[in-house]
Amino acid sequence: MPQGRNLFPTLSVAENLELGGVTLAAAVRRERMARVLERFPRLAERRAQQASTLSGGEQKMLEIGRALLLEPRVLLVDEPSIGLPPKVAQDVFATLRGLADAGGVTVLMVEQNVKSGLAASHHAIALEGGRAVLEAPADAILAHPRIRTVFLGGHVAGAVSGRPPGGAWARCAKLALAIAVPTRKRRNVMAKVPTPEEMEKRIARFKKLKPHPVTFLDQALPENVRDVFNIIGRGVSEEKGAEAEITDVDGFNIQMSRCKPGNGNGLHSHTTVETFMPLNGRWRISWGDRGEHSVVLEQFDLISVPPGIMRCFRNIGDEDAYLFTVLGGTDPGRVSWSPELVRQASERGWELDAEGDLLVKRQPA
């Protein structure tokens, strides 16, 4: 179903439906038309009425009914709410959700009304620059900090991104939504050659790096105590006003963690790719909804973790060690922590405010 109105305006409701089944045998077409009209009583009441005289919602239902005449296994719908009043749009979303819940057809919808579209969907896929960067249950996407920041103007503390369903949405009768995350335009290449003084501002001297011991919610737990260094950009830091050694950020952020033996961070996810490289020691990188998968990295090994997947790291060596981290995106959004970690942190007086900034009500003993 393409975007906009795609009916034969001078033909009746019944004639528009018949054209949807023009390739079918007459008996089959009549039988399927009867089922469509039974599903959409308002169309049955107006079967002799000219399509152009229907309301916006009724015209959209006629489009859906016409598409159903061929009994598709997958129904592709492009921006079904465009040009419709909010109440009518909600009726259309409810119709599409009803089709998916009834079984027999998978609905894949691209929709600009993100909040309502997600509320009607089972699964969702976020696209950035034409690439799928996040795939999860729709309610998890709706709560995801990046989606709320870009589209809804807010943030939900402790939001959790789901694990990609591995394409299951395409094999069952569900309603999936694809949404596009706006990408920033690339800046022009710097034309002026910087002076040595200007370049000094783009250098992070290791001996002068400033550690941030209270940067993330998970540091409320003793096993997650660590020093975090913001090298290029503040990354996904939850420390309000946290500064970086190099503030000019374009396309990626770099942080470094220093952990004592046995320490690391809590289970979390991001909306962009994250890479880890040990500068010394041995580190365990875990991933999965419960961190059930893991791999051990040694000095200068590197792993790239896809977006939307829960992950964590831990120093399993016998010395203080440094882990180098690169996080994709100029603005990589916020961290999504596991619900259990959010609960444990809250019990210790650590929470996130409405903007996603860290609130420490009780300092650790």
pLDDT score of 146? 61
- DSSP structural state of residue 151: I
Q: What letter represents residue 353's amino acid?
A: D
pLDDT score of 254? 96
> 56-68 vs 13-20: helix axis angle to the nearest 10?
30
Q: What letter represents residue 242's amino acid?
A: A
pLDDT score of 307? 87
Q: What is the pLDDT along the chain (365 residues), one digit of tens a residue?
A: 777 778 888 899 999 899 888 888 888 888 989 988 888 888 899 889 998 888 888 888 889 889 888 888 888 888 888 777 777 788 888 888 888 887 778 888 887 777 788 888 888 887 766 667 677 787 777 676 666 555 554 433 333 333 333 333 333 334 555 544 444 444 444 457 889 998 998 999 999 999 998 999 999 999 999 999 999 998 899 998 888 999 988 889 999 999 999 999 999 998 889 999 999 999 999 999 899 999 999 999 999 999 888 999 999 999 999 999 999 988 887 888 998 999 999 999 999 887 788 998 766 55
> Which DSSP helix (H) or strand (E) runs through 140?
helix 138-143
Q: Tokens 């190099």 identify what position?
A: 246
Q: Sheet containing 252-259: give its strands across.
A: 227-232, 252-259, 321-328, 274-278, 303-305
pLDDT score of 166? 34
pLDDT score of 150? 54
pLDDT score of 257? 97
pLDDT score of 320? 97
